[in-house]
Structure 1
Amino acid sequence: MKKTYFIWLGVQFVVWAIALVGFPSVLNEGRIAGICLFFIILFIHPLFTEKPRIQSILFYVQAMAILIIFYPLEHAFNPFLLLIQALIMAEAVFYLNRLRSLVVIGVQLGIAAWIVMEANLTASQLTWCGLFYFLLVIAMLHYQVVRKRKLDVRKKNDVLLSEYRKIRRLLLTEEEQARQDERMLIGHEIHDSVGHKLTALLMQLEVFRLAAAEEDKEKIKNLKELAEQSLKETRRAVRSFKQKEVGGLQGVIRLIRKLELESFMKINFSVKHGAFAAPLTGEQSFAIYRAVQEALTNIMKHSSTREAQVLFESPGGSIFRFEVINLTALNPFFQEGFGLRAMRDRLEKVGGSLEIQHDERQFVVRGIIRLIERSE
């Protein structure tokens, strides 16, 4: 609305600057007072955008000011009256509903008829003025009808968009629940079948070890330790199936997909230099996931744009680097909050570091994790 007001104001200044050229020699005190009144109303008009009744009264007062300014004292008609009245009618149609705007248009047409009757106009000039006002009113009413339809369509689109988001959220929830149920089912199957059989095998090996000869007990002991390790690995796998949240690169891809569907973010995800083959531990993968999640969440909350770039790379296999870039203006009041500090602490615990780059063009969150010790 602020931008629209300045557009109206600029057009008014241009038209008035040209219109005043039409009667520079007859600018008496009454006309100067009318011009002052007109522009006072023009400047205070935005204060009453939520009060259509007061806006209508202001338009009526502007019509009276137009009558004072353009009244043909010497029967001289200023044709720029048509443009100024057209602007007032257009503003009334833009800001008011149909009934109030029709009343304002009627008042303006009455003022125009009075001025035209007092001026010495020929029949062709009267016909031209009548045709101009007729086409102007038809265009204004047509614009109002089209604008009303557009607002109705926008409201319907907003409702449909809200319903779409609810359905997408429900589908994602159901999909996640189905995936979790499937993981739980697989975990139970592993636990009930493989786990129980390994436990039975351990018991039979122990019984066999007690009854075996001394030279065979060492071999049976090794077999028992191998079975115990297999049982521990099976239990660890079952516990991982029960974990609901998935971190690492897979979790980042799912997070990006969720944000694009639900929050309509535009995310450019790039993977370079063997990032998928980087030897990351589980803790490092989860720390990367949390860092990217926090950075994208901050973009949604604080950025004026809903676009981001996510980059993963592992140059040389010695380090893993990720970047989350958001093209936004510089904020002179920026300070690191709890989320960024927690992100830095989490990365430092897994042998990494966090860098924040903030300039006039972009905001960059860059994390680096060293992989040298793990590769060795």
Structure 2
Amino acid sequence: MQEFFIRFVLFVIIWILMIYETSSQLTLSFFMLTASLALFFFLSKRDISVYVYGILSMVIFLHGLIIHDFLYSSLLLLLITTMATFRLSNIKNLFLLIVNLLFSCSLLIPHLEYLVPVLLVWGFYAFLLIKLNKMELLRKEQKEIYEQLLAEYRHLKRMHIASEEVTKAEERTRIAREIHDSVGHRLTALIMKLEMLHIQHPNEQYIDLKQMANESLNETRQAVQTLQESETKGITAVVQLIRKLEAESQLLIQFTIKDGVLSIPLSNEHGIVLYRVIQEALTNVMRHASSKHVHISIGKSAIHTLAFSITNPMTNKEKFEFGFGLSNMIERVKEVEGQIEIYQTDEEFVIQGMMPYK
């Protein structure tokens, strides 16, 4: 924006100098100035057509032709050509360069003795502009490649984090199952055997041994329960994981966590599904949405369901298609007997659903 303002000021200064020093038709000159300023402001748009540059050059040329000005009109044409160098493709930039060169030479018809020096200046300047245009296009291409690689790196990093969490949860579940199946069953059998021995041979030592075995069994059950839980329980774990994604993806995420949600006894399975749904939604935002704003809402109902919604503003009105990520998201939610809706309105893209919890 600062660069555009500097160019605008320079553009206005050259126009004012031209009107002040060479124009004898002030009304016409100010009318042409107003028209050129209106066209100039269109140049600030992201996707600008070469025709806007061409029309602006035509206005400058016609004004210079009417008031018989060459110097200031040529400076304005050079300025417009320079601005186009950083915005247009090679062919369009070359087309505008040739058009403005012809306009400038046409203004020189009453002074043909200066034609050769002017052509030399324009030729040297055109060479520089063509080089600058190629460098700018190369820079933009490298920037796009860098952004694509960065997005892919962030995606892989998020997948790695998620895989680590899932692997940890699966490993804890496996260890807990092995402890329950081996140690738990053996302790239960030991308690029953001690009970039978005490009945057959009443002895205080059997009672003490049975009490120790019961305590060991209770401790084993507590260990199994701890292993089956996440390192941080319930929604808190999901929130922490999403905060990591927010820091890595540079998205602007607004969280709304309604009353009572943090106390929901969310299982590992449901927590992983919720996390994967939000992760895939954020991935879609980074890949397809021009806006980086995302609103995530998590709440609960009186019928023991966890409700969630992820929305982001839509500027691209193209209809979305169900890819692998969205289809996989739907399957995950259905596996935990949940429901999910994915749709697009005129203003936003919406993913919302619910999952039962105990």
Per the normalisation by structure 1, the TM-score is: 0.57
Give the CA deviation at 1:338: 6.3
The reply on whether 1:93 has 2:92 as its aligned counterpart is no
Residue of 249, 255, 262 corresponding to 1:263: 249
The equivalences for 1:59-98 within 5 A come to: 59-71=53-65, 79-98=71-90
Cα distance, 1:153 vs structure 2:
1.5
CA distance in 2, matches of 1:113, 1:103: 16
- CA–CA distance in structure 1, aligned partners of residues 112 and 249 of structure 2: 64
Q: CA deviation at 1:202?
A: 0.8
Does residue 202 (structure 1) correspond to residue 191 (structure 2)? The answer is: yes
With over 3 angstroms needed to count, the CA separation of the structure-2 counterparts of 1:39 and 1:264, relative to structure 1, is closer
1:117 partner amino acid? I
In structure 2, give the amino acid aligned to 1:119. Answer: H
Q: What does 1:140-159 correspond to in 2, within 5 Å?
A: 140-159=129-148
**Residue 188 of structure 1: aligned partner:** 177
Letter in 1 for 2:60: I
The answer for unaligned runs of 5 or more in structure 1 is 267-282, 302-336, 343-376
> Structure 1 pair 163/186, CA: closer, same or farther in 2 (3 Å)?
same
1:231 pairs with 2:230: no
Q: Following the alignment from structure 1 to structure 2, what is the Cα–Cα distance between the partners of residues 149 and 108?
A: 24
Larger radius of gyration: 1
- State the Cα deviation string for residues 46-73 of structure 1 (Å, max 9, x = none): 57x6462xx41x3333233222322385
Query: Are 2:82 and 2:129, in contact at CA under 8 Å, matched by a contact in 1?
Result: yes
Which residue type is aligned with residue 228 of structure 2? K
Give yes or no for contact 1:12–1:84 (8 Å, CA) kept in 2: yes
Tell me the CA shift for residue 44 of structure 1. Answer: 4.6
Q: Go from structure 1 to structure 2 and tell me whether the alpha carbon gap of 1:262 and 1:33 turns closer, same or farther (over 3 Å shift).
A: closer
Structure 2 equivalent of residue 175 of structure 1:
164
Contact 1:202-1:227 at 8 Å conserved across structures: yes
Is contact 2:42-2:48 (8 Å) kept? no
Determine if the alignment matches structure 1 residue 35 to structure 2 residue 33.
Answer: yes
Name the CA shift for 1:21/1:159 in 2 (closer, same or farther; >3 Å).
Answer: same
Between the aligned partners of 1:71 and 1:264, the Cα distance in structure 2 is: 53
Partner of 2:125: 136
Q: For 1:177 and 1:44, locate their aligned partners in 2 and report how far apart those are by CA, in whole Å.
A: 52
CA distance in 2, matches of 1:264, 1:35: 43
Structure 2 unaligned segments of length 5 or more: list them.
253-262, 283-295, 301-358
Deviation at 1:260, TM superposition (A): 7.0
Identify which range, 65-74 or 89-98, moves more after superposition: 65-74
User: What SS class does the counterpart of residue 95 from structure 1 fall into?
Assistant: coil
Report the equivalent of 1:14: 13
**SS of alignment partner, residue 227 of structure 2:** helix
Q: What one-letter code is carried by the residue in structure 1 that aligns with 2:37?
A: F
Superposed CA RMSD in Å reads 4.2
CA change 1:229–1:42 in 2 (3 A) is: same
**Structure-2 separation of matches of 1:43 and 1:166:** 38
TM-score of the two chains, using structure 2 as the length reference = 0.60
The 5 Å alignment of 1:1-376 reads 5-23=4-22, 26-45=24-43, 50=47, 52=49, 55-56=50-51, 58-71=52-65, 79-119=71-111, 127=117, 129-213=118-202, 216-217=203-204, 220-244=206-230, 246-247=232-233, 255=241, 258-259=244-245, 262-263=248-249
Q: Which amino acid aligns with 1:68?
A: L
8 Å CA contact 1:22–1:78 kept in 2: the answer is: no
2-structure distance, mates of 1:262, 1:32: 53
Residues 1:115 and 1:252: Cα distance change in structure 2 (over 3 Å)? same
Query: 1:112 deviation in Å?
Result: 0.7
> Contact 1:31–1:68 at 8 Å: present in 2 too?
no
Equivalent-residue separation in structure 1 for 2:247 and 2:66 (angstroms): 64
User: Identity percentage over the alignment?
Assistant: 24
Deviations 1:171-204 (A, max 9, x none): 3343333323332332233223321231122112
Change (3 A) 1:233 1:162: same
Q: How many corresponding residue pairs?
A: 267
Deviation, 1:154, is: 2.2
- Judge conservation of contact 2:19–2:29 (CA < 8 Å) in 1: no
Which AA in structure 1 matches 2:10?
A: V
The residue type equivalent to 1:195 in the other structure is G
Q: Which residue of 1 aligns with 2:356?
A: none
1:221 maps to amino acid: I
Instruction: Classify the secondary structure of the residue corresponding to 1:64.
Output: helix
User: What letter matches 1:231 in structure 2?
Assistant: L
